[in-house]
Chains A and B, each alone.
Chain A
Amino acid sequence: MAEKTVIDVQHVCKTYFMEGGTSQSVLKDINFQIKSGEFVAIMGPSGSGKSTLMNILGCLDKPTSGKYILEGYDIASKDDKELAVIRGKTIGFVFQNFNLMMKRTIADNVSLPLIYQKVGETERYNRAVEMLKKVNLIGYQDRPPSQISGGMQQRVAIARALINNPAIIFADEPTGNLDSKTSDEIMELFTFLNKQGITIVLVTHEDDVADYATRMIKISDGHKVYDGLRKEYSKEKEIKC
């Protein structure tokens, strides 16, 4: 099946310039493509640059050099306003610590991205209820997130990521704050969504979590050291550099 390429990373480097003139090179010449419908786990030791890569993929940051093409758009040429539109329409974010607004209702949280698409209040609410059904949280719309468990909160965050019907979901350690049982529930939800055609890219430390993915990209010290099927991965296949 010839799926179209949704993510095209070419020679991407990222260097952080700190106050005082020092700089830190975090990503070094990263190259890969992701096709529509893939389920990719990005792995690597702490501090290797996974979050930095995710921020670039999620259009929250731009590479220092190299090219990033998302759904045919060259991200380097877009200004802040255009990037906001891309984030709002084609990308769904899931964060490690959920990032829900605790003083608002679950429905308000789920429908938040729709405000920026100028969707009316009633429609926002209805679509939030609809999305909550999809993540198995029927009836929770009018409660505040503080009344539900961490796993449920992450499902609310996933519903929020889904509400704009995004082509891709980026999740940076979505199970990092959850126990293994709830992690499995969340990963099953991601698998379910992936089967419906949504491209999923997630960062994780845990092998169990990565096992839900079909493809794995491993980063070490800013270099890509493995890129292939998750089930074929072994330590020996890593590229030495």
Chain B
Amino acid sequence: MLTAIIKEAWISIASYKLRTFLTMLGIMIGVAAVVMMVSAGQAVQNRITDTFASMGSNLILIGPAELVTGGVRGGRGLPSVTVADVAALKTLKDVETTSYLMNAAVQAVYGSRNYGVSVKGTNPDYLAVNNWEIEDGIMFTEKDVRAAKPYAVIGQTVVDELFGLQNPIGKTIRLKGKPFTVIGTLREKGDGLMGDDQDNIILMPSTTVRQRLAGSPRPQYTGMAFVKATSEDKMELVAKRVEYMLRTRHRLKDGVKNDFTVRLMTEMVEKVRSVGFVLSALLAAIASISLIVGSIGIMNMMLVSVTERTREIGTRKALGAPNSWIMMQFLAESVLISFIGSFVGMVFGIAFSQLGGHLFGYEVPISIWSVIVSVTVAVVVGIVSGLMPALKAMRLNPIDALRYQ
């Protein structure tokens, strides 16, 4: 019965080829647009997630406390976590390593060239914590940190800007007029989340930064501390232990607020991802306007078709067609149109988004969402836009329909 209805519907729409094709085109464009927007959104989200992964995802970040005055967030307080605190945190259970940073932005000079770089004073574990790798040469050691050796490990941007094609290892660069020896280079990482250049970096022992570059009034404090948990599911637990240990070490009484903040990298990833999701949903919503236009096209065509075929409908009814059959046939016609339109639109949408990804250097996933969205849209649009014409056909009085010239 259903196959007979679909067959009749198919023959009917196939006998108006141009009109059917143009109507399908509207749905095709709509679905293709939605699929492309969803794919674009996903590509961007994936890029964000990958970037976080390159920063190390089992990471717990410890920074200064947030200042809250009268319920309003007001920037950051003074650093409160000391180098000794960071060393103590390393003894906690499920902690792989710890690290910290002391930042300085300075002008690096080599020969006649100079370039503005971001200097980070840290310990050797910084590499493991932030998924950095050494490209050439070596990383400084704990011994170097204790001795505050003037060693520098430089990122690829710094290599390119200061040395060009020369080998930088063993060369001396100058920052704030003081000499530092390049002992290693870092493997290239690419752009960060905000389009910032992650490779424009110089790593030095934290003690060296403190003594030679930073005029910090509280030299034993870190700007930002990192704790790397052994696995992602241990992070919450480790964060609790970190908080407990720091409160104990800072001698905070019950009821007193933390003088530091503990945040999980996974939480931050989640936050950024959810922003990305809202963004791609918004894009899809805009694209679906063209889908609405397409479905109006179907409704329009079906209404014309019912009027044109009034006598056919009357004849069918006189020859024994039940009302339900008539309704189902017209509904099947609109669903077929939107189904085929959606399918072709989906194929084109996927093809175009792959092409676009190729052009812009993005990895575009072929998502199951495209398929789900397309199929749902096909059925919903077909039924919604076909229902009114189908009901109109069903309600036609056979006598009037046969009298109609």
Contact = CB atoms under 8 A, between A and B. Distances in A.
B318 A93 contact: yes
Contacts of B320: 84-85, 87-89, 113, 116-117, 164
A95 interface: yes
Interface residues of A, number: 27
Contacts of A88: 319-321
Contacts of B325: 116
Q: Which of A84, A88, A103, A112 has the most CB of B within 10 A?
A: A84
A71 interface: no
Interface in A93-140: 93, 95, 99, 101, 103-104, 108, 112-113, 115-118, 121
Interface in B284-341: 311-312, 314-325
Nearest to A84: B322
A58 interface: yes
B223 interface: no
Interface of B is mostly: helix
A198 B324 CA distance: 30
A173 B330 CA distance: 31
A55 interface: yes
Contact of A104 (B11, B319, B322): B11
Interface string A53-84: 00100101100000000000000000011001
A99 B11 contact: no
A118 to B, nearest CB: 6
A80 B316 CA distance: 14
Contact of B4 (A89, A101, A115): A115
B67 interface: no
B167 interface: no
Interface in A27-69: 55, 58, 60-61
Nearest to A85: B320
Interface residues of B, number: 23
A93 B1 CA distance: 23
Nearest to B5: A115
A223 interface: no
A117 B1 CA distance: 9
B48 interface: no
Contact of B312 (A80, A81, A101): A101
Interface string A130-163: 0000000000000000000000000000001000
Kindly name the residue among B311, B318, B321, B325 whose own CB sees the greatest number of chain A CB atoms within 10 A.
B318
Given A60-B399, A95-B402, A99-B311, A160 B319 contact: yes
Nearest to A90: B320
B323 A81 contact: yes
Task: Point out which of A58, A93, A99, A160 has the most chain B C-beta atoms below 10 A from its C-beta.
Answer: A99
Contacts of A108: 11
B235 to A, nearest CB: 64
B112 interface: no
B323 A84 contact: yes
Contact of B318 (A60, A115, A118): A60
Contacts of A101: 312, 315
B365 interface: no
A84 B394 CA distance: 13
Contacts of B15: 103-104
Nearest to A87: B320
Interface string B6-27: 0110010001000000000000
A36 B397 CA distance: 29
Nearest to A96: B402
A84 B323 CA distance: 8
B398 interface: yes
A143 to B, nearest CB: 15
A118 B322 CA distance: 12
Contacts of A95: 315, 402
21 contacts: A55-B399, A58-B318, A60-B318, A60-B398, A61-B399, A81-B323, A84-B320, A84-B322, A85-B320, A87-B318, A88-B319, A93-B318, A95-B315, A99-B315, A104-B11, A108-B11, A112-B316, A113-B320, A115-B321, A116-B320, A118-B1
Given A89-B320, A108-B11, 4 more contacts: A55-B399, A81-B324, A116-B322, A160-B319
* Closest A-B pairs by Cβ, 8 of them: A88-B320, A103-B15, A99-B315, A113-B319, A84-B322, A116-B320, A60-B398, A87-B320
